[in-house]
Amino acid sequence: MIRRNVVGLVLALALAAPVAAIAGSDEPNEPELWGSYKGVSWDAAANRKADGTSHQAPIAGLHFANDGSAFVSVPRWINPAVPATLNRLSAKGTNGPAALTAFPSARWNAADGAPTQTLRNVLGFYVDNTNNWLWALDMGFVAGEAEAPEGGQKIVIFDLTTGEPVRAVVLDTVADRKGSFLNDIAVDEKARVAYISDSGFRSAPDNKTGIIVYDFKNDSARRLLNQDPSVQIKKDIRVTSHGEAVWEGQPILIGINGIALSKDGGTLYWTVTTGDALHAVSTEKLKDASVTAADLSASVKTVARLDFGTDGIMVTDDGAVLITDVAHNGITRVDPATGVTRLTVAGEGVFWPDTVTRGEGNYGYFTSSNANNHFAGTVKPGGELSNIWRFPLSAE
């Protein structure tokens, strides 16, 4: 099992930082509980029971296909015996455990299989509805491993209809097998270019943070903004969640986390968990190999200052950036044109808002993984609960 001090770094995503342009005093809207699950189950029987790993298997990632199918990730951060790390969610709104089916198959989700041919530990993934693909980002390591095995860090692109792999891309040349934490992935579906955030938490306090850009057409990957201030931790940031410090006495050193593209694909946005800002850069500069590291760093813009810890982010049709706000139990909206921020969705029943994404109808959906308590070991068998919330995007 991962040591407590290392695990704490993965989880503590709620921060207190200096406030900048925070807008208005309007009360946030309450999100709607779309699905509430007492653990997770890979048992297809009607009387399915929660898997024995449920208290160590929070639902973290969530994305939808055009046909309404929901996919979720269950990272193997705590227990390598979690049956499947990438799954279809086949039921919602149940009083029992979430009914999961390994995607694309149980064989592909075998943690003890060949590292280049199985999904070992997925947190970030992306459903590409233009190409009918799913881009799975494999962190490579599982709980208890100090180093990802050769070939474990990778992208695997699957055909959504057949489940067959389109391409597997090993990232060992652009990520560190000991220090990297490949956190999130955003994809320009038309250009078939992927952008990956590397939080670098396992190499703290000098996190090996960076952004990886993968071009499908050229089958090439480059690491950019390596340990740049815009992707790196701020060591004076402290963590809060539901008004209390998380992992008191331990430094929370998580770098770049949530990452998302503007609708035209021209701007990449990201936040740093142990940080206090939303940043952006032109994707043309990221894709241009002639741009020097210094020039690329100088082109990064600070879009807004934040007073909370973050996890996932998304961009709405009107260009706003929605950020999961762990400190305030909801979603904060940022207007990139002005840098003004507003807490628009929040609820006391939200514990650790994780991934935010667009789903059925004009709704945003987000997971409430309760990850900090899972990793602290305070979630006991029978007491696990994974919630999925939704809110109307038109209200944003």
Comparison of pLDDT for 197 and 371, the residue scoring more: 197
Residue 93 has pLDDT above 70, yes or no: no
Residue 24's pLDDT is 46
Residue 296's pLDDT is 98
The domains of the chain are located at 4-395
Joined together, the tokens standing for residue 396 give 């944003």
Three-state DSSP at 4 gives helix
Q: What percent of the chain has pLDDT over 90?
A: 75
In angstroms, the CA 281 to CA 269 distance is 7
- pLDDT tens readout for residues 37-69: 999 999 877 668 899 999 999 999 999 999 999
Residue 43's pLDDT is 87
Which whole number is the average pLDDT over 195-206? Answer: 93
Tell me what the pLDDT averaged over the chain comes to: 89
Residue 377's pLDDT is 73
Joined together, the tokens standing for residue 154 give 């990778």
Residue 1's pLDDT is 33
In angstroms, the CA 70 to CA 75 distance is 16
- pLDDT tens readout for residues 231-272: 999 988 876 667 776 667 776 788 999 999 999 999 999 999
Which whole number is the average pLDDT over 343-358? Answer: 94
Residue 239's pLDDT is 62
Residue 16 has pLDDT above 60, yes or no: no
Q: What one-character-per-residue DSSP string does 278-293 give?
A: EEEEEHHHHH-TTS-H
Superfamily of domain 4-395: TolB, C-terminal domain (2.120.10.30)
* Residue linked to tokens 């309450």: 30
Residue 7 has pLDDT above 70, yes or no: no
- pLDDT tens readout for residues 279-326: 999 999 999 999 999 999 999 999 999 998 899 999 999 999 999 998
Question: Nearest-CA neighbor of 270 among 320, 209, 226, 312?
Answer: 312
Residue 94's pLDDT is 72
Question: Nearest-CA neighbor of 230 among 272, 283, 293?
Answer: 272
Q: What one-character-per-residue DSSP string does 167-182 give?
A: EEEE-TTTS-TTT--E
- pLDDT tens readout for residues 148-182: 999 999 999 999 999 999 999 999 999 999 999 99
